[in-house]
Amino acid sequence: MEVIAYLAAAFIGLSLGLIGGGGSILTMPVLVYLFGINPLLATSYSLFVVGSTSLVGTISNYRKGQVNLKAAFFFGLASIVTVYITRKFIVQLIPEHLFSIGRFSVSSALATMVFFGFLMLMASISMIKSKQIDGEEQECKDCIKFFKLLGYGITIGLVTGLLGAGGGFLLIPALVFLVKLPMKNAIGTSLLIIALNSLIGFTGDLGHFDIQWKFLLGITAIAITGLLIGNLFSKKIPGEKLKKGFGWFVLIMGIYIILKELLK
């Protein structure tokens, strides 16, 4: 089982390198089900793994000129503030036992995994239905777009802060349709925003969790290695076809997590 767990950690980075996003959605299930980590602590570990891996991916995309720093700053500002506040203050206020329905007790761990399962369903549908879209290299500056951007940023910050997920499946469409970035630039820019959100969110956890650094750094190194391998093969394998196949895999995993948590 341990070997499978480490291979799955490599697959997180591999999928991120091959399809440019979505791979981080697997981090939580890998940490919880294969490594046996408590879901709340797993959200913290996931932030570090996702943030570090995305940062490496950002460096590669920046060298190719596919990262829009201005868009990342204005779009990411609201999400970064939101995710830090969420991790530093809100997560710590969530009680272990939330409520009961008859004999059915709902804990924070159960709620975290069920919500994460639904997030996986949303991400899978986004990947399965995704089309090759492209935008023009210009930014929208009217106020309505700005407030949409602000709302998206807060939403993504909450998703990242509460569930430890990058939210790339929400970020990329927003960057394409609201900021009018080309798809490749949207992917590169989203990786930068995810990296900043996740790593800054992780700093909000310091002092609240007992972090096993040796384990965490090891898993992160494996995921980054997978990312680098994925980048090498990404030029030879059509990303859109891979994305749809990966979307079906995530869909099945999401359904499995929801059923497993509600029926156990």
Q: What is the pLDDT of residues 62-108, one digit of tens each?
A: 998 989 888 888 778 888 899 889 988 888 888 888 888 888 888 99
For the cut 50, the answer to whether the pLDDT of residue 141 exceeds it is no
Query: Where in the sequence is the domain holding 50, given as residue range(s)?
Result: 2-263
Domain count for the chain, please give it. Answer: 1
pLDDT of residue 144: 39
pTM of the model: 0.82
User: 17 near 191, Cβ under 8 Å?
Assistant: no
Could you give the CA distance from residue 101 to residue 183 in angstroms, rounded to a whole number? 45
Q: Alpha-carbon Rg of the chain, whole angstroms?
A: 18
Say how far residue 126 (Cα) sits from the centre of its chain: 14
Q: 242 is written with which tokens?
A: 């891979």
Q: 165 is written with which tokens?
A: 């997920």
The residues near 197 (Cβ < 8 Å, ≥ 6 apart) are 51, 76, 79, 80, 83, 156, 157, 160, 166, 167
Could you give the CA distance from residue 122 to residue 108 in angstroms, rounded to a whole number? 21
pLDDT of residue 146: 63
Could you give the CA distance from residue 14 to residue 85 in angstroms, rounded to a whole number? 31
Please give the angle made by the CA atoms of 25, 128 and 120, to the nearest 5 degrees: 25
Confidence grade of residue 132 (pLDDT, cut at 50, 70, 90)? low
User: 164 near 28, Cβ under 8 Å?
Assistant: yes
Could you give the CA distance from residue 20 to residue 17 in angstroms, rounded to a whole number? 6
Total residue count of the chain as it appears in this document: 264
Q: What is the mean pLDDT of residues 159-169?
A: 78
Smallest CA-to-CA distance from 237 within 56, 245, 167, 225 is with: 245
